[in-house]
Amino acid sequence: MALSFTGPFPAGYGIFTSGFHQPPIPKIATELRGHFMQHKWNNEVSNIAAGYWYNSAQYGKVRIDETYDGAFGSSLFDYSNTSADGAVMNHQIIVQPSVGSTPNCFDEYVQSPAFPLITTDLLQTVNATFGGVVQEPFLGPTQTWNFAFDGSIHVIAYLNTDDVLLGYDFWGEDKRTKVVTRFFAQQVGPIAKEIFDDFPCPKGLQSQKIT
């Protein structure tokens, strides 16, 4: 592919053209829902999951419904509830190894969740740098934006011509972890509040609670 490839984007996005100029950092859509695939690996694990996600900056929450290797799970990341060191509250329920298994429930603060809250000014807040237009194998032509999160997590974000997030890659030096996430058939628009209601953990099934 030519280094000046821009696809449906303006010709000025071609990084090896005389008319190149770094575009302004876009504001991105925030009320999102759609299908996803994610692969996370490091020195210890390799985990591929697929499912459905909901992202709402309005409510400050991200909900993930996923399946992987005999397990069904749902996580509710509440970005309005964080610990002193910035960890995010995750309400999670997992059913495995079969649909008839007793569910396990968790309420715990987690550092750097694999599904960050997407806000309209996210790329502006981190002062993202334009990375050019790429022909992404799953997504087609996308604009890319690069930034470092918390100074140690390196991120590439993929957006379409409407500035809707289509996926991201991020990696960190700790345990040499990398996460590749792609979103498909997304819808942009208001999400019903009840989607983010805390799901109750059946009495006696609470596996872990960190407050």
Q: Is the pLDDT of residue 203 over 60?
A: no
Model pLDDT, residue 204: 53
In terms of Cβ atoms closer than 10 Å to its own Cβ (0-12, 13-18, 19+), residue 170 is buried
Closest CA to 36 of 184, 140, 195: 184
pLDDT the model gives residue 135: 93
CA 50 to CA 206: how far, in whole Å? Answer: 25
Q: What pLDDT is attached to residue 206?
A: 53
pLDDT given for residue 71 in this prediction: 87
Q: What angle do CA 19, 131, 114 make, to 5 degrees?
A: 160
Q: Where are the domains of the chain?
A: 26-209
Tokens of 163: 């500035």
Share the mean pLDDT of the chain: 89
- In b/e form, how buried is each residue of 174-202, taking b as 16+ CB within 10 angstroms? eeebebbbbbeebeeeebeeeebeeeebe
**Mean pLDDT, to the nearest integer, of 32-40?**
96
pLDDT band at 208 (very low <50, low <70, confident <90, very high): very low
Quote the CA–CA distance of 141 and 51 in Å, as a whole number: 23
**What is the CATH number that goes with domain 26-209?**
2.50.20.30
Asked whether the whole model's pTM tops 0.85, one would answer yes
Separation between Cα atoms, residue 71 and residue 96, nearest integer Å: 5
